[in-house]
Homo-oligomer: A and B are copies of this chain.
Amino acid sequence: MDPIRIGIVGLGKIARDQHIPAIRGNGNFDIAATVSPHSPPMDGIAHFATLEDLIENGPAVDAVALCTPPQVRYDIAVTALKTGMHVFLEKPPGATLAEVEALKDRADKVGTTLFASWHSRFAAGVAPARAWLSERTVKSAKIIWREDVRVWHPGQDWIWEPGGLGVFDPGINALSIITHILPRPIFLKDATLSLPANRAAPIAADIAFQDTAGAPVHMDLDWRQTGPQSWDIIVETDAGELKLSSGGAVITTPRGTEHNEDLEYAGLYARFANLIRGGRSDVDVAPLRLVADAFLRGRREAVEEFHD
């Protein structure tokens, strides 16, 4: 099969650290071009300031991976879908739910692949956790996602702007896991969002979800954690406790602990290639919908100003 010629739009940290190595490691893809108005080009790869410029003047491209901030992703995705390209969306898939619906409709009509990626679902422990839980009764679950924003998002102002999600930018990773591993859907009962007085997005959140059988799922998100960081999900079942730690990489059940190699983005690109080859899309908005529900339904409290 011919390789899929892919363009990478947005050349920030996530594109360089994750997308490019994963694409280079997958024989289904050839990197055809990169697009970024500000970032410098990469050695040996054709580079364009905008996607329009690539379409008019660049090499042929079958697919694009959109690694820009979510606020500008919709217009770029429309341009790509209009020219018949397959589109890989970094998470979150958009700045609003309605724009993701609109993209989904458009991809369905054009007949190209739209992939709303959730990288944490490809962490090593997630598939085994989903399999183990599918045969158990869930009594309760806890999500503890506490990290230091200064370490992980230094100077990323867009993340604090409306549409940038604040602490839900990492928190949506936890939600992408929990909505994938629990046997039943969850929905929000109560939420408190903590907003720094000088910022538009929350720096912490405390959320009570429950599943449709009534099991409580508590989420503790905090970006003010210094020292040890936590990305843990603990599920209590009728057959004991399941723990996913290190963001889903490590799984512990009553049978023991498994550590496996981290292949999140490799998994995503394997999936993207399969979707393209199979002529299908995969757009699950459940994690973003839960975040929107938290903003819709949550109580806001003002906390200390945050300065980077």
Contacts and interface: CB of A to CB of B under 8 A. Distances in A.
A111 interface: no
Nearest to A74: B187
A259 interface: no
A295 B295 CA distance: 6
B96 A187 contact: yes
- The secondary-structure label for the interface of chain A is helix
* Interface band, chain A: 20 to 34
Contact of A102 (B106, B162, B212): B212
A30 interface: no
Interface stretch (A41-49, A116-124, A265-273, A285-293): A285-293
A153 interface: no
Interface of A: 74, 95-99, 101-102, 105-106, 162-163, 185-188, 191, 200, 212, 286, 289-293, 295-300
B97 A185 contact: no
Contacts of A186: 98
Nearest to A299: B162
B101 A162 contact: no
B299 A200 contact: yes
Nearest to A286: B98
A96 B293 contact: yes
A291 B291 CA distance: 13
A229 B200 CA distance: 32
